[in-house]
Structure 1
């Protein structure tokens, strides 16, 4: 299995604008088998409590020198900051998750069946390996290393179909605003 490649198409201080662009992109996608993946780097005990109340089966692990992870009996609050991940969630959980993480950096990745045909750039329907949209809240990168006050939307494509990213951006009235990068997962 290969990684997808992602390219940013929107950076905004308005989280609801980012969510609107995601919904417009999902509107042109084949949403069969739609799932949502959640990742966050949480340093606030309050945010951690809210996220774990919403996603009680999320995996977590301590960041840096601290030791601790889900399934070990450790108290995650004693291990802050922690990384938290929940795979294969439902779209209805997105907004409550983003509210729960507060100002901590997080990603929400929508995983679906395929992007549509892009005849203007010579591409057939895109398959599942490159069919994602990611919203990075309070971060400018997919690894949550470059924290920010704003939010970034990325479209994912197969590396061999890189021209699909600018095409997708144009479908929602935008353009790419950064380089195509290998997605972390």
Structure 2
């Protein structure tokens, strides 16, 4: 049991740029389970909930509070491909703060840094309209996060360098 550390490797107002970097980072990873990807958003009112579920009829809604009346509601959507994630993310990002998370990845071994292959903590995330992994505060920017084993940023920095990026801020506790 443990939590990841999440290092931001890009802040941008251009969602296509964020998703392009994400696609390049995914090409560095090995898939442990290729269907391990989902979108998640918080619906803080009925209008946002309606718009998210109309845009993605297969989305799962989990309510907080008594009698399905407590806001926010968590809205999640499993996706099977990068193209499906891209399309859904563009739609959801126009509605609210949200994120897409690829989990069940394997980061490659980096022998020169003493890093073995990593799958337990390997995740990749795009937070839309936010600078934090939980999308708690709205910003006009989208943030790409590399999740890895807690410790120094060596793996995150190495992964970012493979796609001509770099770590652009401090890490935060993941999940």
Match of 1:123, SS state, is coil
Cα-to-partner distance string for 1:86-138 (whole Å, 9 max, x where unaligned): 4x532243123223322410010011331011133221211x22111000001
TM-score, with structure 1 as normaliser:
0.81
The equivalent residue for 1:90 is 80
State the Cα RMSD in Å.
2.2
Q: Once structures 1 and 2 are overlaid, which stretch shifts more, 45-54 or 163-172?
A: 45-54
Match runs of 1:1-185 below 5 Å: 1-34=1-34, 35-43=36-44, 45=46, 47-53=48-54, 54-62=56-64, 67-69=66-68, 81-86=72-77, 88-91=78-81, 92-101=83-92, 102-126=94-118, 128-160=119-151, 162-183=153-174, 185=175
CA drift of 1:67 comes to: 4.5
With the length of structure 2 as denominator, give the TM-score of the two structures. 0.85
Post-superposition Cα deviations, 1:9-52, rounded to whole Å, max 9, x if no partner, equal 00001000100111001101011302112211234655433432
> How many correspondences in the alignment?
171
Distance 2:98 2:19 in 1: 14
When residues 26 and 68 of structure 1 are mapped into structure 2, their CA distance, relative to the original with a 3 A threshold, is farther
Other structure's SS at 2:31 match: coil
Q: Which runs of 5+ in 2 are unaligned?
A: none
Does the CA contact (< 8 Å) of 1:157 and 1:165 recur in 2? yes
